[in-house]
Structure formats: structure tokens, C-alpha cells
Structure 1
Amino acid sequence: MIWRMVGQRLALGALVLLAITVVIFGAIELLGADFAQQRLGQSATEETLAALREQMGLNRPAWVRYGAWIGGAVRGDFGVSMANNRPIADLMAGRLGNTLFLAAFAAVMSVPLSIGLGLLAALWRNSWFDRAANVGTLTAIAFPEFFVAYILVYLIGSTGLFPTLASIPPGATFLERLHVTFLPALTLTLVVTAHMMRMTRAAIVNLLASPYIEMARLKGVPRARVIWRHALPNALSPIINVVALNLAYLVTGVVVVEVVFVYPGLGQLMVDAVRTRDVPVVQAAALIFAAVYVILNLLADVLSTLSNPRLMHRR
């Protein structure tokens, strides 16, 4: 049954991703811009423009160009950048790795922190710690990413402990990369911790009213052990789901943070491409972000199902 469910989720994810590609390509088409004119400038002759349009395939119908774009994307060929005539796959290779590294660094900090805070808030419900944790996390999530980033630059970056411009030097070691990306990762951590922490707290608190939890309490089991041994395993399904969704946000929501810290990631590449009107790069970056988000959503569905015995063993 689990493999059938995974197959259904994969098929649904493929359909969603296909619909996203139609939206991306259609949005670019609605711009109605002459990309050949943008590439060659206003001084280009009609003969030169016509030759470039033929080379770029702009004279072909939209559905033919869409099919060629999708076919190339499946093979890993996203075309050539209009800004520097380099293959887009080469431009995105290192940038995507930097973005995934930043997202993974933020996940390593945020997931244990949020689950730990959620467990402690549920253990000491309605205490001063519970109220302080809720106020602190809600304050962090209420501010947009760029505001949190500038606050951290002012408070921490001004001390000189961590660089405010997260430029990764060539040949940087793992520790050097961690040092350079600490402030961007901390920004993302503060943004996503609140949601995961509150979901963990809510899931644990809801289970504390269950009959088997009450029975464990009547037997004299310590409250901390009740939460850790009995409540947490049964609350894993919603917790895993919200953690996976926030990990998807970490990958796709890094654009603003990368721009603030000038981090050489895929988000920064996409913003630079928008600034220079490099449409093929924008299309490719949007497709990569969408694919990562869809894949992590599928992973969230599968893991939440695997962690829930009631879904695994239906009667």
C-alpha cells in the first residue's frame, strides 16, 4: 500500500510541476517583449534581429518553444544566458549548491531548536517560559526576512564576529563556509522556528488529553517522560509534515536573504537575471525552485504517512 501511495504522490507531483511550467512559460509570453531586441540593443538592424530570432527560435509557435524548453530542461539543458552567452546549467550549478548549503545550515539550527522549544513549552504549559517562547517566536516571524537580516547585521555584524557580506572565497573550507554563512542562516532560522515550534507545542498539548497519557500520569510516570516516551512518538506525523514544509520554504525563500547578504546562491542569480532581463535564466531558476518545493512537499506527505500507524495500517 505504501508504494501505491508513493506512486500516486509522485504522479500528482509531476502533474503539479507540469502545470507550474505552463504558468512560468505563459507568464513570460504575456510580457510580449522582443528578446532579440533586448539582447542586441536598439542599434541592431532588421537583418541581424531576424537572424537572431531564427537562431533563438522566436519565430516558432509558442507551443513548439514550450516543448523545446521542457525537453531541454528534462535533459538538464536550460539554454544559453542572454547576458553572457554561457550555458545556464553551468551558471546554476555552483549557485544551487550554495543555496542548498545555506538551507541545510539553517535547517540544522532551526529544526532541533524549534522541536526543543516546542517540547519545553508543552512541558511547562502556561508558564513564563511558554509565554516568553511564544512572544519571542511570534515577534521573529512577524517581521519580514530583510528586516530581521538588517537587525542581525546591526547587532552582530557590527561586532566583527561574522561578515555582513556572505561572499564565499574560492577554495573555502567547510568551517570557512559555516563562518561566512552564519548570519544568513541565522536569519532563516529565526523566521522558520516560530511555525515549527508552535506546531510541535500544539501537537504535544493535544495528545496530553488522550486516555493513554492520563493512564501514564495515574501510574506516576514523570511528566517529562510522558511527553518524551508517549506523546512525542504519536505527534511525529504533524511535526514531520510542518518541518518538511518549512525546509521547502528554506530552499525557496532564500531569495531576499541572499540579496541582503550578497550571497552567491540561486536566489541572487535570479534577481540579477531579472535586473538584466535575462529571461532564460529567470525561467530556469523559477523551475528549479518550483521543483524543489514540490519534491519536499511530496517528501512531507510520505514521511507523515510513514510515521502515522493509523494511516499505515488501515482497517
Structure 2
Amino acid sequence: MNKLLKMVAQRIALGCLSLWVVSLIIFLGMEFLPGDIATEILGQSATAETVAAFRQSLGLDQPLHIRYLDWFGSLIQGDFGRSLANGREIGELLGGRFANTLFLAVVAALISVPLALALGFLAALYRNGLFDRTINAVTLTSISFPEFFVAYILILFLSVNAGWFPSLANVDETQSLGQRLYSVALPSLTLTLVVVAHMMRMTRAAIINLLASPYIEMATLKGVGRWRIIMHHALPNAWAPIINVVVLNLAYLVVGVVVVEVVFVYPGMGQLMVDSVQKRDVPVVQACSLIFAATYILLNLTADILSVVSNPRLRHPR
């Protein structure tokens, strides 16, 4: 137990260090963008005195390291600053948008994870058969297309031609759960088609790899049924890689929804980030980027810990 706690503490420390490095990269990346933020916001007709006063109000006249320390210190205290576009608190802007992104990711995960595990089990059980080859061909095809292409294909067939689902995912707080699920049907289906292939193929590969183990061959020689072998002998030892790839794909569902949200005009973090880039609203872009990075690092940390906890050989290394 002490070794496990020590390992968790080390992973958390590495995660915090990674997040600090990412924050430094985000800040420097915004600073080194071409053009002047004050001039872009005020316009080319602004006088030099107006631009200088505006830069001073934003703190842009301070040295680079002072501005970074002020920005990072405010982040640690939970203060993201104010939006340059509308003057609102960034934390207020992010609250509802991040909740919408999480809702979309959770819906897609509830569809994709059970589907991927079931398809992986069946493909391993009937490997090299017609079912296995068909599933592999379909998943490889879906993973080969970019998200926006899959999204537009679904819009064409399921929204324009069939009229089953709306092409724009408009959600708000006044809608019921059923209405919200109906609105995000196409975005969640798009994300499902993109991520299910990774999880399915990893599940299939992990189980097939274990089916070649000596103890599985012994169980087969004893006459144990194939389903019992997979569920009671192979699956417990395959959980570590399966959990790892599932959590990593959940991380993608949260941080990789930018393109999908833009296609369906979904009011989430990705859409907010793209709108802020167009408006040169640097504080909002920095806050969105940092939240995406923190979410990805947190879920990677969770995957790392769960893979160690679920594998006795990693819990008790020799």
C-alpha cells in the first residue's frame, strides 16, 4: 500500500509539473503571435496615445516574466480574469460551456465504451471469422476519416435526407434531459464513430494476446467453454490495457471536441475557444487551452493509476 501511495504521489507531482510547463507554453505561444493585441482590438484608426493607454490597462507594458507570474498567480487562486470582448468574468463564461462539453462527452462515452467492449469481446471470440473481419473493416473505415467529414456525412443522411435529427445542436438550460439528448444525437454519434475503433481494437488485441497464454490453453484442454475462458480467465488480466485505452479515449472526448462543436455549432468550450480566437480574446483562449490541458493531464493520470491498480505485476514489481 505504501508503494502504491508513493506511486500515486509521484504521478500527481509529475502531472502538476506537466501542467505548469503547459501553462508556460500557452502563455508564450499567445505572446509570440504576430500582430499587436491592442491594435487588433482598437482598430487601425486608433491613435498612439489610445493604444498606449489600452496596453497599460491590460498590463502589456509590463515585462514578460511579470505578466506571466501575475497571470499564473491569479489562475492558482481561481481567477481567470476578464474577457476582452465583453468584459465578463471568464470563469462565468466557462462554467456553462464546460458543463455542455462534459455533457456531450458523457453521452458519447455512454454509447461508445459499452459498444467498443462488446464488439471487442465478440471479435476476439470469433476472430478471423466474418464478424471479426466486418467489424475491423467498418471501424478502420470510420477511424480513417476526420471528424468533420464524418459529421457532415451524418448531417447529410440523418438530418437533411432523413430528417431524423437536427443539424445544429442547440442546447440551453430550459430544455429537459430528453430534449438535450435529442439535440446532441448527431455530435455524440460522430464522436462515437471516431473513438470506438481504438477501444474495440485494443480490447480485441488484449484478449487475443491472453488467449495464447499457457493457462488459457490448459483451461481449453480441460473443456472449459470459450465464453467462460474469456470472462473468467482472460478478461481479468486484460483489464489494465483496456482501462488505459478507454480512459485515454475519454480524455479525447473532452479535449478533442473542438471540431465537432464547431461543425454542429454546439455551445461548448471548443466553440467558445474558436470564437475567442476570431475576436483575439487572448485571456479566454488561454483559459480554455489550460482547462483542456488540465483535463487531459488529469485523465492521463487516472489511466496511469488505474492501469497500475488493475495489474498485480505492476502493483508488486520485483
Percentage of matched positions with identical amino acids: 62
* Alignment of 1:53 onto 2:55: yes
Aligned equivalents of 1:135 and 1:279: distance in 2? Answer: 43
Aligned to 1:147: 149
**Structure 1: segments with no counterpart, 5+ residues:** none
* Alignment of 1:182 onto 2:193: no
* Alignment of 1:206 onto 2:209: yes
Q: Structure 1: which amino acid aligns with 2:123?
A: A
Aligned equivalents of 2:243 and 2:113: distance in 1? Answer: 10
Aligned equivalents of 2:61 and 2:5: distance in 1? Answer: 45
Q: Structure 1: which amino acid aligns with 2:166?
A: P
Equivalent positions of 1:22-171 (< 5 A) are 22-158=24-160, 159-171=162-174
Q: Structure 1: which amino acid aligns with 2:110?
A: V
Task: Find 1:3's aligned residue among 2, 5, 23.
Answer: 5
Shift of 1:215: 1.3
**Structure 2: segments with no counterpart, 5+ residues:** none
Secondary structure of the corresponding residue to residue 61 of structure 2:
coil
Aligned equivalents of 1:94 and 1:123: distance in 2? Answer: 44
* Alignment of 1:270 onto 2:273: yes
Aligned equivalents of 1:302 and 1:91: distance in 2? Answer: 32
Range that drifts further, 38-47 or 143-152: 38-47
- The list of structure 1 runs, each at least 4 consecutive aligned residues, that deviate by more than 4 angstroms after superposition, is none
* Alignment of 1:285 onto 2:302: no
* Alignment of 1:173 onto 2:176: yes
Shift of 1:33: 3.0
Aligned equivalents of 1:271 and 1:117: distance in 2? Answer: 35
Secondary structure of the corresponding residue to residue 31 of structure 1:
coil
Aligned equivalents of 1:183 and 1:66: distance in 2? Answer: 40
Aligned equivalents of 2:145 and 2:282: distance in 1? Answer: 31
Q: Normalization by structure 1: what TM-score?
A: 0.98
* Alignment of 1:236 onto 2:239: yes
CA offsets per residue over residues 143-172 of structure 1, 9 Å max, x none? 000000011111111222211100113411
Aligned equivalents of 1:298 and 1:263: distance in 2? Answer: 28
Secondary structure of the corresponding residue to residue 212 of structure 2:
coil
Task: Find 2:224's aligned residue among 208, 221, 224.
Answer: 221
Q: Normalization by structure 2: what TM-score?
A: 0.97
Shift of 1:34: 2.0
Across the aligned residues of Structure 1 and Structure 2, the Cα RMSD in angstroms comes to 1.1
Aligned equivalents of 1:165 and 1:254: distance in 2? Answer: 15
Q: Structure 1: which amino acid aligns with 2:117?
A: I
Range that drifts further, 220-229 or 126-135: 220-229
Shift of 1:81: 1.1
Aligned equivalents of 1:260 and 1:58: distance in 2? Answer: 34
Q: Structure 1: which amino acid aligns with 2:174?
A: G
Shift of 1:30: 1.2
Task: Find 2:199's aligned residue among 191, 196, 199.
Answer: 196
Q: Structure 1: which amino acid aligns with 2:38?
A: A
Q: Structure 2: which amino acid aligns with 1:10?
A: I
Q: Structure 2: which amino acid aligns with 1:218?
A: L
Secondary structure of the corresponding residue to residue 204 of structure 1:
helix
Shift of 1:32: 4.5
Q: Structure 2: which amino acid aligns with 1:310?
A: R
**Aligned length, in residue pairs:** 315
Q: Structure 2: which amino acid aligns with 1:274?
A: V
Aligned equivalents of 1:133 and 1:311: distance in 2? Answer: 32
